[in-house]
A and B are shown apart, each in its own frame.
Chain A
């Protein structure tokens, strides 16, 4: 008896009226995978940073700009106190070296069910749609992106890329290959499942705040 795999692949080939593809066609198709076809991309003249901020804000994401890495904890503290959050946070280990306020309780483990705030390093961002690109790693656990009510993402201005395709190219240049999870985040969690009324904080963070490091 054939396996389901063979049956399905055979059925697909029969449907196209042919045998398995010859070596030459396979090579052409494989080349199409290793060198992606360049598709049409939306054109825009806007400054990348301005567009990123504008697009993210249109989906209720907020942005604070700081002059250097050392100012990140203060910017996060401003966000924390503005929203009256407890002095505890899950901070991605990639941001461990920063001088976090001494009276905060900080950990670098995965986010637990009671987590209220996380601080996450971004790999890049995409100006086209105002989207953050977060990569799963021990330094940036995926639960930080979805479990807490509030997420602060740290992004270097130089990492704002034009199109999604530029972000894929940056991903391919990494030496450690494809991360387990790539999260493209374009704002706080939302739903319109009750009477098409938009409501923030469906399951993921209610607030998404970006600290943009120039």
Chain B
């Protein structure tokens, strides 16, 4: 998928004026947050589990090479194949080669963010394959020709009316408006596709070194139908997804569903180990795993390595006021919200996504809910710092920051200017104490009044009032 993060500002403005989007976001916003809060309150061990998960993930990242090798050996022992992809192009080539070799025509897909990251669908379609997304949310946005706007609820930006329109166009027949009927229509439309599929592609929430299994969680069962009914099953996963044992995976599972959808567990958790066995009546004839690096080993080296703990639950975006106001598409690539604002510049380049680390109020809600305790605001701040150092920050902002530093390191000058500004703003504010139009800050005063300061600085009051007490 082409990156359009450089259009962030224009897309954010458009999102704020998009009535359907705002209606959809309104409906979604509180649901995720409230459901998660209920689950967290019910599990007294939740905080201790977060800490344990952080420690475990750090242990895995410290010994990632070893666990990847052990995982690979276990997959091979179960009759599966492991492929390694340095970047997105290599991952696409590996998957296309498998599809060509098995003479595939139809490819079904369970939800996989890595497949979005590597731009897989476009490559498959270009090669003449029919690609069918089977997760209901992914199916909806595939019909709409859009990218996911949320990592676990890809069609969260769509209203029911919009889904009705899309289904009417795609399936024909009478227009359906009830959610139950829409879900049934998708079920019916996809049923034959599962059985026709030559290749089924899923993601992998965890890869288990102990058994050589890939693990997926879904609520719909689409991932399972995808990987059970296709002749060939291909798993796409980032290299950071490996965990040592089933017990280790369980630690993350206890956090994942609660953080993601506010469920104690998703409906289906499935472990897949190799292809169909000799006596089996169903299951894929071939089982492949594509391990994707695509910037992850680079991340592991530097100050952003904590980002590799991410288990893709989406809690950070569910709790982000910026995401909640503009939705996921404004972010311009695959991963939106706080985790996306860290990942996008790291994978696609600091200058390709300048606005993302800056479109954050550093309110830290994301960090406070992250199940693996990623310090997202710190990482975003660090990205800003790197942008400044590499002169990617626009000149006007650089000058402003340099000027501020000049003042901030000279306290007397700073306080003198502060006193002057406070008095000037108080004078402009007048009796109402509000400033309707402020030269140089039109962007701020266009939509609201600026409350005027009282005329004296905090320091002035502190000095006089402390003297009195």
Task: Encode contact with A along B19-37: 1 for CB under 8 Å, 0 otherwise.
Answer: 0000010011001100000
Q: Is the CB of A202 within 8 A of B66?
A: no
Partner of A33, one of B70, B134, B190, B254: B70
A30 contacts across to B, CB distance below 8 A = 70
- Any A CB within 8 A of the CB of B144: no
Give bound CA distance, A33 to B219, whole Å: 29
Q: Which of B32-63 contact A (CB under 8 A)?
A: 32, 43-45, 48-49, 52, 56, 62-63
What is the chain A residue whose CB lies nearest that of B191? A113
Output the least CB separation between A208 and chain B (Å).
9
Q: Which of A140-180 contact B (CB under 8 A)?
A: 141-143, 145-147, 163-165, 168, 171, 178-180
Q: Is the CB of B225 within 8 A of A193?
A: no
Q: Which of A79-126 contact B (CB under 8 A)?
A: 109-111, 113
Size category of the binding interface on chain A: 35 or more
Q: Which of A182-199 contact B (CB under 8 A)?
A: 182-197, 199
Partner of B254, one of A12, A42, A203: A42
Size category of the binding interface on chain B: 35 or more
Partner of A39, one of B191, B250, B261, B272: B250
Q: Is the CB of A146 within 8 A of B228?
A: yes
- Any A CB within 8 A of the CB of B220: yes
Output the least CB separation between A166 and chain B (Å).
11
Q: Is the CB of A196 within 8 A of B28?
A: yes
- Any B CB within 8 A of the CB of A59: yes
Give bound CA distance, A87 to B273, whole Å: 34
B212 contacts across to A, CB distance below 8 A = 178
Give bound CA distance, A32 to B210, whole Å: 10
- Any A CB within 8 A of the CB of B344: no
- Any A CB within 8 A of the CB of B324: no
A195 contacts across to B, CB distance below 8 A = 24, 27, 159-160, 179
- Any A CB within 8 A of the CB of B85: yes
Q: Is the CB of B293 within 8 A of A8?
A: yes
Segment touching A, from B262-270, B402-410, B425-433, B439-447: B262-270
Whether A199 contacts B179 in the complex (CB less than 8 A), given A113-B191, A178-B78, A194-B160, comes out as: yes
Q: Is the interface of A mostly helix, strand, loop or mixed?
A: loop
Q: Is the CB of B219 within 8 A of A192?
A: yes
* Max chain A Cβ within 10 angstroms of own Cβ: one of B52, B228, B277: B228
Segment touching A, from B240-248, B352-360, B392-400: B240-248
B265 contacts across to A, CB distance below 8 A = 129, 131, 184, 186
Interface residues of B (CB under 8 A from A): 24, 27-28, 31-32, 43-45, 48-49, 52, 56, 62-70, 78, 83-86, 90, 134-137, 140, 153-156, 158-160, 163, 179-180, 182-184, 186-187, 190-192, 195, 209-213, 219-222, 224-225, 228-229, 239, 244-248, 250-251, 253-254, 261, 264-277, 279-283, 291, 293, 297-298, 300-301, 305
Q: List 13 extra interface pairs beyond A40-B45, A141-B282, A186-B269, CB under 8 A.
A: A15-B298, A15-B301, A36-B247, A37-B244, A109-B281, A136-B283, A142-B224, A180-B276, A187-B267, A189-B220, A190-B220, A190-B267, A203-B221
Interface residues of A (CB under 8 A from B): 3-5, 7-9, 11-16, 20-21, 25-26, 29-30, 32-34, 36-43, 55, 59, 109-111, 113, 129, 131, 136-138, 141-143, 145-147, 163-165, 168, 171, 178-197, 199, 201-205
The 9 listed contacts between A and B (C-beta, < 8 Å) are A3-B84, A7-B86, A8-B68, A12-B300, A20-B65, A21-B63, A34-B210, A142-B283, A196-B27
